[in-house]
Structure 1
């Protein structure tokens, strides 16, 4: 056995995983910045004058062009993303974002700015699809949630940076008031572009594309062991076993809509359903409450939102995905119900109470859904469908976001405070859906999740049984042993076959 472990940037093991997390977090920081900076631009005098004081509907169209671009970027990943590695997809997405930022920062007309917004959104659609998958496939099961929670905190930090940058440049009386925030996207993009080439590719992607030697090298670096260490060898064998099982029946993009031996469409549907319930939680309408209060409340909310996002760092891998989903939905539903009561009565004291409820809502949302949502599909989906299924879940998120943003103002105008009751009901309905249909994935090896959905006694288990078994620690331990045994059997069979082939070739040469 060799004594040295491969390194990237002189890093290995957990330090290397943290380096990947920092890179991914910077990508999500850019994500948050892009979402946030347009808020200040729409009230900038210089911005409005440059574009001949566009109407409110046209301003709304400029903002939504980003979401539309992100939707198409995720669709592009669904169509062609599996042809390239996680790193390549990330680089392509970041380059597109940079191009979009330059187009926006140099704009002198609505059409040019609109193209820039769409282009930047397209790039972020690619990045937001591939980053969670890249990170999930590099980390250890025990720390996947924490690593994802870290990068989501950075996304919120991006929102805060965007807000205060908008505030800072608002004191200037030139076009720097809006051009600098547009151009500032490039700062985060350049950091990501400088880091990605020096970091490892996903070992699971490498193994799935037949690059087994590189997969072993990368896995050894990520785990901090020599390439021939038993831990590295065994994990690589587990990955190869899962690939072999999937390759027997999975073969085309349409498998996300079929079963094909890996319960593909069920798992994709769960991932998309999770995105639906996240958006229908009312997070957008809750944030809207701050517009009725002082600017200080809005700024304080963002800081509180960020601080709340630190809690999942310590609980997400200990408590599990399902419990946090359930806790978040119960808390958000209760907050929405209280909001309906307080806003409906409308006294000054209850107005302050509504602000407190708004802060509590953000805590429950961050703890239950924001922290879970970006890692859960990556854990749930099988390797061959991970990118395509993940892309569909991101598409559904942007689509549902667009729908909620469109219908919320109409609801508030027509039924006022009763809108909060509608979103409260969505949160309460989410609870039984999660309880009966969302399997637990926290702390499970990605390859073991496949076994939860695999045939048992010649039959495919119903989703209720999969969910029940996923929460049974004794069953999970047995599944891990089963995976280990099947991996060893497959490896032994391959060794026998290889020896037989060598014997035949040797005999043929001797004859």
Structure 2
């Protein structure tokens, strides 16, 4: 079935990422002043309550991601996605039926647990079923669907602001139930990760999945070598290494993998993207904009972000690699935020009537997120963390990195309403500095992983122990002793 089937599986599983983007995007509209029915129903919640509503979701995500690592190892990537989707149905239903702030926060906590689980396991699943030459594109579909989720959320928010009853905020929250239910049901017909099947000793099933995902009449030799490399590496790891949590830092190469995986996610949060994502209407209001125009601009920004993401992952990411876009994006975001701070300092404020300044301010918010973030940390962070760990510890390592993402997310989403209210334009300067730091961290410490199979990452990080079949062009690359205890049977 080949590439189209592989693409379809990755795209459908990315419904979990759509939920991530939709929930993150819709809450910015729901808690905004434009949703007056929400403000009335919840008695005009202050910045601390709004911060709690937003950050509780991220807190749930942290624990969901932590739990998913163990689940994905024990029951598989596919079943873990289904569990996450089912919990999402529950959490989103509770949000939709909320009767008070506590009810809403509990719903967001449960939904956050589900999204945290999905945010960890979906890119892991995509990475393990993708051929190395287009893994950036297929795993990058995670960020594309996050962008689509934001896009849909923004336009739903724009449309629902005109409703004059509780449906104004209940309908946007209810919509997310449907993709969660679809993901749960649809995953029944999608394949297991072939690498997880090998780990379970189900070699025939694994080979059949690889052939469905990557096989054509022209590449039978590649399939043979790819599966041999997968089989030999996983069996060697199983025979010679443990799968303890402490393996994440037990050797220098493993410690480097763990630190770079955590760093790419923490750096992603410290770009400032979630200040823009969660509180975008507030940023536009600070420029003097008001009314329905705010949510319309938010929707346009979401559309541009989705377009730039798909262009980047399809045409650029697998050609130029991971490091150059991260450095380019960090520098671009730093410049954009510096200009934004200057505009807000001189011409900002809710009473501003300087239309050219407002236009420029809006433009640089869009350039920051739709251009520089969508072509750097947005997609690359999910690709990078999912491809750097060896199979024996991949799910746990990916979970730790995703937990780092959500821990930083909680911090930023909780303090941002207070920071924007008290520091105003100066709040941008914080992220000017952190983006400069991001560029330096990537330049000096991140290895390039472009074009390598998941089994070949040991050579990238300096802990290779056996030759790779795709390099040697032969299927037996372990010693005779090793073959007796679990070598290749291809």
TM-score normalised by length of structure 2: 0.86
Partner residue in 1 for 2:226? 235
Shift of the 404–104 alpha-carbon distance from structure 1 to 2, 3 Å rule, reads closer
**How many residue pairs were aligned?**
465
With 14-23 and 121-130 compared, the bigger mean Cα shift is at 14-23
Contact 2:264 2:381 in 1 (8 A): yes
- Following the alignment from structure 2 to structure 1, what is the Cα–Cα distance between the partners of residues 486 and 42? 69
Residue of structure 2 equivalent to 1:222: 213
User: Can you list the C-alpha shifts for 1:419-465, whole angstroms capped at 9, x where unaligned?
Assistant: 33332222222223212211111211111111222448x9xxxxxxx
Query: Which residue matches 1:37?
Result: 26
Find the counterpart in structure 2 of residue 472 from structure 1: none
In structure 2, relative to structure 1, the CA distance for the partners of 1:154 and 1:452 (3 Å cut) is: closer
Indicate the residue corresponding to 2:333 in structure 1. 332
8 Å CA contact 1:237–1:491 kept in 2: the answer is no
The answer as to whether partners of 1:327 and 1:368 remain within 8 angstroms in 2 is: yes
Deviates more, 1:129-138 or 1:438-447: 438-447
Distance 2:298 2:486 in 1: 65
Q: How does 1:187-198 map to 2 (within 5 A)?
A: 187-198=178-189
CA–CA separation in structure 2 for the residues paired with 1:402 and 1:498:
44
Shift of 1:79: 4.1
Partner of 1:264: 254
Which residues of structure 2 form unaligned runs of 5+?
349-353
Q: Tell me if structure 1 keeps the 8 A contact 2:154–2:298.
A: no
C-alpha change, 1:210 and 1:187, in structure 2 (3 Å) is same
How far did 1:306 drift? 2.3
Alpha carbons of 1:326 and 1:498: their partners in 2 closer, same or farther (altered >3 Å)? closer
**Using a 3 Å threshold, how does the CA distance of structure 1 residues 375 and 105 change in structure 2: closer, same or farther?**
same
Provide Cα deviations, 1:86-106, integer angstroms capped at 9, x if missing partner: 100000000000011222223
> Which of the numbers 396, 401, 411 marks the counterpart of 2:409?
401
Compute the displacement of 1:36 (Å). Answer: 1.8
Q: In the alignment, which of 374, 390, 398 is matched to residue 398 of structure 2?
A: 390
- TM-score normalized by the length of structure 1: 0.83
Offset of residue 280 of structure 1? 1.2
Distance change in 2, residues 1:254/1:31 (3 Å): same
Are 1:289 and 2:283 counterparts? yes
Q: Does 1:133 align with 2:134?
A: no
Contact 2:64–2:115 under 8 Å retained in 1: yes
State the Cα distance separating 1:231 from its structure 2 match: 2.9
Farther off after superposition, 200-209 or 151-160:
151-160
Using a 3 Å threshold, how does the CA distance of structure 1 residues 430 and 137 change in structure 2: closer, same or farther? same
Contact conserved, 2:229 with 2:468, CA < 8 A, in 1?
no
**Aligned equivalent of 1:484:** 472
8 Å contact from structure 2 (residues 344, 425) kept in 1: yes
Q: What is the match of residue 277 of structure 1?
A: 267
What is the Cα deviation at residue 357 of structure 1?
Answer: 2.4
Report the Cα distance in structure 2 between the residues aligned to 1:413 and 1:41, rounded to whole angstroms.
19
Rg (Cα) greater in structure: 1
Q: In structure 2, what is the equivalent of residue 16 of structure 1?
A: 5
Identify the residue that residue 206 of structure 1 maps to in structure 2: 197
- State which of 221, 229, 242 in structure 2 corresponds to 1:250: 242
Q: Which has the higher contact order (CA 8 A, sep 6+)?
A: 2
Report the secondary structure of 1:168's partner residue: helix
Q: Is the 8 A contact 1:77 1:391 kept in 2?
A: yes
Of 362, 366, 369, the residue aligned with 1:359 is 366
Q: Does 1:368 align with 2:376?
A: yes
How many angstroms does 1:245 deviate by?
Answer: 3.6
Q: Distance in 2 between matches of 1:498 and 1:124?
A: 37
The offset of 1:49, in angstroms, is 4.5
**In structure 2, the residue corresponding to 1:488 is in which secondary structure?**
coil
Counterpart CA distance in 2 for 1:482 and 1:91 is 33
Mapped partners of 2:484, 2:205: distance in 1 = 24
Structure 1 residue 325: deviation in Å?
Answer: 0.7
What is the Cα deviation at residue 225 of structure 1?
4.9
Q: Map 1:144-163 onto structure 2 (within 5 A).
A: 144-163=135-154
Check 1:205–1:355 CA distance in 2 against 1; reply closer, same or farther (3 A cut): same
1:411 CA drift (Å): 4.4
Match of 1:74 in 2: 65
Q: 1:407/1:120 Cα in 2 relative to 1: closer, same or farther (>3 Å)?
A: closer
CA distance in 2 between counterparts of 1:80 and 1:186 reads 23
Aligned to 1:298: 298
For the structure 1 residues 59 and 494, does the alpha-carbon distance in structure 2 shift closer, same or farther, using more than 3 Å as the test? closer
Counterparts of 1:407 and 1:443, CA distance in 2: 39
1:423 counterpart residue number: 431
Q: Distance in 2 between matches of 1:61 and 1:406?
A: 6
**Cα deviation code 1:172-212 (max 9, x no counterpart):** 33433332222211211122123211111110111112211
Could you say what the CA RMSD is over the residues aligned between the two structures, in angstroms?
2.9
